[in-house]
Amino acid sequence: MRKQAIQIAGFAAVVAGIQLLTSLTGNVYHLTQLTMSAYYSLVVLGLCILTGYAGQISIGHAGFFAIGGYLSALLTTHDWSAHGGPVVSGLAAAGILARRPDLYGGELLSVHPWPACILAVLAAVAVAYAIGGPVLKLKGHYLAMATLGFGIIVYRIVLGTALVGAADGIYDVPAFPLLPGVAVSGNSSLRVINFYVAWGFVILGMVFLMNLVRSRVGRALASIHGAEDAAEAMGIPTARFKLKIFVVSAAFAAVAGVLLTHYNGGIGPSESSVMKSVRYLAIVAVGGMANLWGALFMSLILNYLSLRGYFGSFDDAVFGVILILIMLFAHEGLLRRQLLDQIRGAVIRRGGGDDP
């Protein structure tokens, strides 16, 4: 427990250090990509617990991200002021619909970001429940293909639906007022606070998942990964546990989708593309599969490099190649615990330790 608190505190210090470094060197604009990396990291962490720990692969997580992001974007931008009637005025009176100025100086009546966010995440959770039941009966390549299929379906729906802007996506998404004075927004005056908000969400998610991994449920998930029949014989309802962790994982992706959409002020179909799902999976793999910290650091670094454009036009290819190389040469992940232990052991030996 103490070790976990130290790790979290250390990571918070790294986050604060990055902010100070960018401010002191006058590179505050880097915080924008680092904030976006944080939200993508939420997806990665959720996928890490599902694939790395519970052993259930998903190549469709961009789909859950998109359901969250698109639904929140749609609800908070769709204008109801032209629609009269008791339902609309009732929702407005209840604060669910709120008036705000639009880009052109007019006024717009749309769903407040809070109820929109809750609805969007619930929708993603409901979809995860619905497809998780049948899909999680599959194993290995078949599960991978089924989740891939789900991701493609979401992508094609988003791309082909005029209501959500088809190829243009949805823009003019308002800021998300989290607390008085704190809003998730891409406004450059809120850049520093948004950097901390985003990484605050990541740290919160990290605490939740680290608690889970070390718990009864975490052991049950790892046992499903290790030997499903033996887990079942220990009284673990494997199908139910797989479904629940799938839903938890989808909820992480959906929350990330909602928050990043409000931060960016919009969302486009590329967020639901298969290559995004591949990217998340590649990061989990290179992070060491069952290694939350590995996934988090890899996500921070690779997403940041990608968003800063270091991979140029090879952006998607980089992640595809990473995934292929990991599957070929280190299919249990790169930064896995055993490897780190071996390195540590070698260093201790060389340093004159007496323990072989």
The DSSP output letter for 50 is I
Per CB under 8 A, 208 contacts another protein: yes
Q: Which is nearer to another protein, 188 or 215 (CB)?
A: 215
> 59 or 247, CB closer to another protein?
247
Smallest distance from the beta carbon of 346 to another protein, in angstroms?
Answer: 18
Q: Which helix (H) or strand (E) holds 83?
A: none
Q: What are the strands, taking DSSP E only, across 134-174?
A: 170-171
Kindly state the smallest distance separating residue 244's Cβ from another protein, in Å. Answer: 6
In the three-class reduction of DSSP (H, G, I as helix; E, B as strand; rest coil), residue 108 is classed as strand
Distance (Å) of CA 83 to CA 79, 87, 147, 331, 356: 9, 9, 38, 55, 76
List the one residue from 81, 88, 232, 293 that touches another protein (CB under 8 A): 232
Contact between 281 and 59 under an 8 Å Cβ cutoff? The reply is yes
- Closest approach of Cβ 197 to another protein, in Å? 20
C-alpha 53/C-alpha 178 separation (Å) is: 31
Place of tokens 């939350």: 292
For residue 130, the minimal CB distance to another protein (Å) is 19
Spatial contact of 236 and 228, defined as CB atoms under 8 Å apart: no
CB of 7 to another protein, least distance (A): 15
| 350 burial type by CB count under 10 A (0-12 exposed, 13-18 middle, 19+ buried) | exposed
Residue 114 CB neighbour total at 10 angstroms: 15
Q: Which member of 152, 159, 182, 222 binds another protein (CB under 8 A)?
A: 222
227 binds another protein (CB under 8 A): yes
At residue 174, the 3 state secondary structure works out as coil
Closest approach, Cβ 245 to another protein, in A, equals 8
Q: How far is the CB of 217 from another protein (least distance, A)?
A: 4
51 vs 346: CA distance, rounded Å: 29
Selected range binding another protein among 126-134, 233-241, 298-306, 321-329, rule: CB under 8 A: 233-241
> What count of Cα atoms within 13 Å lies in the side-chain half-sphere of residue 328?
6
User: How far apart are CB 102 and another protein at their closest, in Å?
Assistant: 39
- Please, which residue, 166 or 204, has the CB nearer to another protein? 204
How many residues make contact with another protein (CB under 8 A)?
A: 29
Out of 23, 27, 161, 211, the only residue in the binding site for another protein (CB under 8 A) is: 211
290 binds another protein (CB under 8 A): yes
The DSSP-derived string for 217-230 is: HHHHHHHHHH-HHH
SS3 (DSSP) at 180: coil
Q: How far apart are CA 261 and CA 253, in angstroms?
A: 12
The single residue among 245, 284, 323, 334 that binds another protein, judged by CB under 8 A, is 245
Three-class secondary structure of residue 111 per DSSP: strand
Give the range of 136-144, 171-179, 186-194, 220-228 binding another protein by CB under 8 A: 220-228
Helix-helix angle 191-213:292-307, to 10 degrees:
150
Q: Point out which span in 84-92, 143-151, 236-244, 276-284 binds another protein (CB under 8 A).
A: 236-244
226 binds another protein (CB under 8 A): yes
* CA–CA separation, 158 and 133 (whole Å): 24
Distance CA 43, CA 202 (A): 10
Among 117, 220, 253, 322, binds another protein (CB under 8 A): 220
Instruction: Based on the shown chain and the rule CB under 8 A, indicate whether residue 216 belongs to the binding site for another protein.
Output: yes
Per CB under 8 A, contacts with another protein among 291-350 are 337
Binding to another protein by residue 238, rule CB under 8 A?
Answer: yes
Tell me if 57 contacts another protein by CB under 8 A. no
124 part of the interface to another protein, by CB under 8 A: no
Q: Interface residues with another protein (CB under 8 A)?
A: 208-209, 211-212, 215-220, 222-223, 226-227, 229-238, 244-245, 248, 290, 337
